[in-house]
Amino acid sequence: MAWSRYQLGLAALMLVTGSINTLAAKWADNFSASGCGGTEEHGFQHPFLQAVGMFLGEFSCLGVFYLLLWRDRFRPEPSMAPSQPFSPLLFLPPALCDMTGTSIMYVALNMTSASSFQMLRGSVIIFTGLLSVAFLGRKLELSQWLGILVTIVGLVVVGLADLHSSHDQKHKLSEVITGDLLIIMAQVIVAIQMVLEEKFVYKHDVHPLRAVGTEGFFGFIILALLLVPMYYIPAGSFSGNPRRTLEDALDAFCQIGHQPLIALALLGNISSIAFFNFAGISVTKEISATTRMVLDSLRTLVIWAVSLAVGWETFHGLEILGFGVLLVGAALYNGLHRPLLARLPWRVEETSRTAEHEGLLQGETTAINSES
């Protein structure tokens, strides 16, 4: 069945905004500008402030939800079913996980390349699968276990690619290793978030935009308040600001004042996460969850291609190999191999025989019913 223009538009919107989200964050990281009080020019390394911006983008999904709900009320037949009563505090634990994982990932993005950052995020299926078995009582199929093993191999290949490419990038080898490990560690927290959402949130049938927006609200408020103590907490060489504190939001705003393009990059990050969530939810609804997974994997390729085009990275064959292996692992875990296997000659013949047999049984049943 061919896609409609609307479906194509949604798929394109998800792919483009999902890619912009990571690229805009990395673009901001690559800027250098002087800070407050005439401090010398230094890199824009403010991961926690960037995470606040991302949650602001998620929070805006709540406005989109209420806008759609208001518009739906004027239709002859409303399509948005009211959700079951629930406490918004249900979203607090997942929001805390999201806040922690996102902050760690933005810290890691300062230490590694945008493409490796996106590829290593694919490790989330390993921890999601294991935690779903341990806490949700789910039984994984053989193909899912195989997908997890293939993903581990892919992560090793991407890690080797990073080690080989670290000598011709601005990041030190120790930074690259630390960044890669932080990304993988963040995926453990993301997997915990997914398990919490499935166990406590999904049973209330909350609209996805409302869920994303509520988590964004908690993440935005809590992390914005935490910027105050972070301004005074010493972080030593781990920090990227002149005061060597965990986060210096004032320094960030001064840098934005001296280099307005940083504001454009941050705006791209904030707006893209909102559109990406909306497009992703719409793709799942209008097309399929499988299509959403494929598009999410393809944006890794877009990010890598753009990073090469603008000179942020150099070409390494191991990265392509690693991406391919990770893609196979994700496909196996999400069951994308089944449609391909079904098209094999012997499977097609077996399927047709089964359909013929079921058709004969159905024909017998119909005949009996018609006689009565």
pLDDT in tens, 326-340: 989 988 888 877 766
Report the mean per-residue pLDDT for the chain: 84
The tokens of 238 are what?
């781990």
Q: Is residue 91 a contact partner of residue 219, using CB atoms and an 8 Å limit?
A: no
Is the CB of residue 94 less than 8 Å from the CB of residue 245?
no
pTM of the model: 0.83
Is the confidence at residue 369, as pLDDT, over 90? no
Tokens of 4: 């409609």
Instruction: Determine the Cα–Cα distance for residues 31 and 43; give it in Å rounded to an integer.
Output: 6
Whether 353 shows a pLDDT value over 50: the answer reads no
Least confident of 15-24, 136-145, 177-186, 196-205: 196-205
How far apart are alpha carbons 123 and 154 in whole angstroms? Answer: 9
Residue 93 CB-half CA count within 13 A = 13
The predicted structure's pLDDT at residue 365: 35
Predicted local confidence at residue 166, as pLDDT: 57
Classify each residue of 29-60 as buried b or exposed e, where b means 16 or more C-beta atoms within 10 Å of its C-beta: bebebbbbeeeeeebbbbbbbbbbbbbbbbbb
Phi-psi region of 205 (alpha: psi -120 to 50; beta: other; left: phi over 0): left
pLDDT given at position 343: 65
What is the reported pLDDT for 204?
A: 77
Q: Where are the strands (E) in 15-63, listed by range?
A: 32-33, 42-43
Instruction: Name the token pair of 288.
Output: 């399929």
> What residues have CB less than 8 Å from 244, skipping those under 6 apart?
234, 235, 236, 237
**136-167 confidence digits (pLDDT tens):** 888 989 999 999 999 999 999 988 888 777 54
263-305 per-position pLDDT tens digit? 999 999 999 998 998 888 788 778 776 787 778 888 888 998 9
Residue in 26, 29, 24 with CA at minimum distance from that of residue 240: 29
Cα dihedral 291→296→299→301 (10° resolution): -90
Q: DSSP string spanning 95-147?
A: HHHHHHHHHHHHHHHTTS-HHHHHHHGGGHHHHHHHHHHHHS-----HHHHHH
